[in-house]
Structure 1
Amino acid sequence: MPQTTEPTATTWPEGVIARYLTVGGATVDISQKPNSTAATATCRGCTRDHYDTFTCKVTPETQRAMALIVGKWAQSHAETCRALPRPTA
């Protein structure tokens, strides 16, 4: 049986805390900077993004909650985006 390989790099870019695979094989990356009240989801295929800021004290629990909120957009986008991964070279 042939081995399957992930269509994207196995190493995640710095700051990426979660990834969703799009229909077209690109990824939607969720990133947060340490001690930040913002979270961003960026599609590495079509380059659409979603950005949210929050007015709360930064704790590990609130950062997880922020990532989940942005993650809803990321998951929804990944389910429909057919853009192919952008070339790295």
Structure 2
Amino acid sequence: MTTPLPVFAEPWPEGVTHRYLTHVGATVDVTGGGDRTGYRCTGCIYGSSGQYWHENVAHERAQAHAEKCLALPRPTQ
């Protein structure tokens, strides 16, 4: 039996251009573009921490993190 993926009915936060879904429902959000691309996990503290990367590098790092992160999404309230 497989667990269904969560449905994201709400719009993405302002500035998020891409999202990578983790195994437990958090996301790694990518913002910006070109040489000023950043990323942040919504489950843990992983992210670019104010540093910007070329878009290709940021996407690779965001996707690699999403594939292994097991932190649950942080509550919104």
- Give the match for residue 15 of structure 2: 15
- Relative to structure 1, the CA distance from residue 5 to residue 22 in structure 2 (aligned partners, 3 Å threshold; closer, same or farther) is closer
- Relative to structure 1, the CA distance from residue 4 to residue 67 in structure 2 (aligned partners, 3 Å threshold; closer, same or farther) is same
Kindly indicate whether the alpha-carbon contact (under 8 Å) linking 2:5 and 2:25 is maintained by their aligned counterparts in 1: no
Instruction: Give the root-mean-square deviation of aligned CA atoms.
Output: 2.3
Q: Report runs of 4+ in structure 1 exceeding 6 Å deviation.
A: none
SS in 1 for 2:64: helix
> Of 52, 70, 74, which residue of structure 2 is paired with 1:82?
70
Gaps of 5+ in 2: none
Count, aligned residues: 72
Identity value in percent:
42
Instruction: Please tell me whether residue 47 in structure 1 is matched to residue 35 in structure 2.
Output: no
The CA distance in 2 between the partners of 1:5 and 1:77, in whole Å, is 18
Gaps of 5+ in 1: 54-65
1:23-51 C-alpha deviation (Å, 9 max, x unpaired)? 12100000017xx7411110000021023
Structure-1-length-normalised TM-score: 0.68
- Give the match for residue 36 of structure 2: 38
